[in-house]
Structure 1
Amino acid sequence: MGFFTNIVRVVATWAIASFYGCMMLLFTLLRVARRGPRAFFGYKSRPDRPKCLDDPDLGTHGYVRLKTSGLRFHYVAAGEPQKPLMLCLHGFPECWYSWRHQLKEFRNSYRVVAPDLRGYGETESPQPSGYWGWPNFSLSHLTNDVRELIEALGYSSCTLVAHDWGGFIAWQFAIDHPDLVDKLIVMNIPHPGVFYKYIATHFSQFRKSWYIFLYQLPWLPEMLIKAFDFEMIRGVFRSKNMGCRRRDAITDEDVEAFKYTFARPGANISAAINYYRALVKQPRSYKGTKVQCPTLLIWGDQDGALEVGLTEGTDRFVPDFTLKLVPGASHWVQQDQPEVVNGHMRDWLKG
């Protein structure tokens, strides 16, 4: 029965992925017809770093090499090393820079460390690259990166702060390694046990999650991200449906910083997409799994990708649970409303 169910799941996933792939190809061809093939292939390499990535007010850059994978991880750290560790995990399509507001806010109380996740930015990507490298991005690999990163930084535990894909890793890490997480703060990503049930029972959320299926296809997602000089990256932060609600939340230089993550020499676009491929190809069961540490979930209520309803039922998995909604904030909540988010974090951490 398990084998048959798995076959049905694989066939259904590929059917849905192919449908969305055809839709995106048609949509892209129409745009090419309007703007021309030169615009479509007009993406450029970005050998020069945007100046904001080297802003000394955000902290100092460092590197550590992890034992198991051998990958060299890049991070930015603010605050004295003797202070407790606050480890911040970014989402897609971002990098360490998405935590710029928190690096400055909490440096007086914590050693705030924001790494580039596996395959992002200046952190190395495992081989093989491309579509067939997806097994190297399973949750077990990603959570082990966090475990070894805490150790390499010289700590035995941390306050774990995470958003989007980083939040998915953080939920799993808190489940698997309760002794390494003192407190957990997650932003705009639900507990996986809530997510899988919700998406199966709410068609509106299923439709909003279309990109997860699209990313199961080989080569096409990578091509679409690069198209029109990485316009997709600008769109997710600036578009009416997905982007930040405050106009000045993401500047042109901020957009360039995130584009640089994918366009810098040696960048591996497939790495970021392989997170989604591994998630779908290696699903997990979350029945009865609980997060034992105190947990704060912060949620921008104008998230264009994830419905507010995904916050409901989290207390079944997290006995010590606090929810803070941020009215008028988008999916990029810690960048969209940094003062509000930092205030919620500060008050909850004191409590």
Structure 2
Amino acid sequence: MGLLHYFQFAVACAFGLWYSLWIILHLVLSFMKGPITFVKDFFKKRDVMPSCLNDPGLGSHEFVHLKEVRLHYVANGNKKKPLMLLVHGFPEFWYSWRYQLREFRKQYRVVAIDQRGYGDSDKPSGVKNYSTEKLTGDIKQLISALGYSRCVLVGHDWGGAVACHFAMCNPEMVEKLIILNCPHPAIFASYMRKNLEQFRKSWYMMFFQVPVLPEIAFWANDFKLLESILLGEKGGVQSQETTAADIEAYKYCFSSKGSVTNPLNYYRAAFRYPLDKKNIRLIEKPTMIIWGCPDVALNQELAPLAGKLVPDLTIKYIEDASHWIQQDRPNEVNKFIWEFLNQ
């Protein structure tokens, strides 16, 4: 880690501590309003899998053993078809691709994974196990383990960052790259340092550098924070596509041991183990970015900036879609993907 990254990490921790004061105040006020309910919700258990996660129309649940971890995934479509690999973001899991698992199964072997640390995949402890190199290494091993040499790679949010890095380092394994509401990882850090609006929007990334407290904030009030992230008036899904049953599926996923800490470790690792400059290169493969414009976490300007490192870039905007674009506007997203694949 160079001097700049040490400074960046120190600044992130300092702001994280500042934001922590407001989070603690919010938690204390919530406790005072109903201490019994607060404690009861905090320790609420979810032992029964919601039925929507076992919908056979979404595909079959399978596991694959890699060098370091066992990954869970849901697969739909004939194994003889080309591979479409779907990589989720934070705080999500394979289920965020439910509309795409159904849509593309006739032409592709569609595989939606739980990244390491999520859902039913293994959850190795320690921040170092969630560096970008580790995550992209999982993707490389997975494609081969599934019996393929290349794929159409689709990533959203953190999954988009992993997909971009993978395409830079392993271009021969990517047929086409599709990114949903995620900046190019080699551009985002410098952009955030220079853009005050994006710096303010990224407050949660700095808060996540604080130990334990972010986990408490997620667990509190029966995962109310998770629900507000996905359905809140500011930044949540704008359509009626996401139901109460879907939210319960998310709460079930994040209620098991390690299912909050390890996803948070993605952000912690990003500050401690930045991208190796030798791996930053052009993405020569045809690439499409689909961007939901009212994204409260990311400036829209980040989408075209990716063109600096992606010569063959197509950008599609959905004006009234949130950050959770493939769940919010599945029909429009699927239409854009089909058009891009059929070019």
Q: Please give the range of the TM-score, normalised by the shorter of the 2 chains.
A: over 0.9
Distance 2:137 2:300 in 1: 30
Structure 1 position 283, deviation (Å):
1.6
1:224 aligned onto 2:222: no
- 2:329 is aligned, of 321, 337, 351, to 337
Q: CA RMSD in A?
A: 1.6
- 1:163 is aligned, of 156, 181, 186, to 156
1:186 aligned onto 2:184: no
Q: Which amino acid aligns with 1:274?
A: N
- Identify the residue that residue 228 of structure 2 maps to in structure 1: 235
Structure 1 position 286, deviation (Å):
5.5
Is the partner of 2:33 in helix, strand or coil?
helix
Distance 1:227 1:37 in 2: 12
Can you give the 5+ residue segments of structure 1 that lack an aligned partner in the other structure? none
1:24 aligned onto 2:15: no
Is the partner of 1:312 in helix, strand or coil?
helix
- Identify the residue that residue 49 of structure 1 maps to in structure 2: 49
Structure 1 position 6, deviation (Å):
4.6
Q: Structure 2 vs 1, CA of residues 100 and 258 (structure 1 numbering), >3 Å: closer, same or farther?
A: same
- Identify the residue that residue 124 of structure 1 maps to in structure 2: 122
Q: Which stretches of structure 1, 4 residues or more, deviate above 6 A after TM superposition?
A: none
Distance 1:37 1:7 in 2: 43
- Identify the residue that residue 319 of structure 2 maps to in structure 1: 327
Q: Structure 2 vs 1, CA of residues 7 and 84 (structure 1 numbering), >3 Å: closer, same or farther?
A: closer
Q: Which amino acid aligns with 2:46?
A: R
Distance 1:222 1:151 in 2: 34
Structure 1 position 185, deviation (Å):
0.3
TM-score by length of 1: 0.93
- 2:263 is aligned, of 262, 267, 272, to 272
- Identify the residue that residue 101 of structure 1 maps to in structure 2: 99
Distance 2:14 2:258 in 1: 30
Question: Which stretch of the first structure deviates more once superposed, 158-167 or 2-11?
Answer: 2-11
- 1:289 is aligned, of 270, 281, 291, to 281
Q: Which amino acid aligns with 2:82?
A: P
Q: How many residues align?
A: 341
Q: Which amino acid aligns with 2:158?
A: W
Distance 2:8 2:101 in 1: 42
Structure 1 residues 181-236: Cα deviation after superposition (integer angstroms, max 9, x where no partner): 11000000011133123211211111111010111111111111100011111111
TM-score by length of 2: 0.96
Structure 1 position 37, deviation (Å):
5.1
Distance 2:8 2:258 in 1: 32
Q: Which amino acid aligns with 2:209?
A: Q
- Identify the residue that residue 13 of structure 1 maps to in structure 2: 12
Distance 1:84 1:281 in 2: 36
Distance 1:7 1:143 in 2: 24
Q: Percent identity?
A: 42
Distance 2:56 2:2 in 1: 54
- Identify the residue that residue 303 of structure 1 maps to in structure 2: 295
- 2:81 is aligned, of 77, 80, 83, to 83
Structure 1 position 7, deviation (Å):
4.2
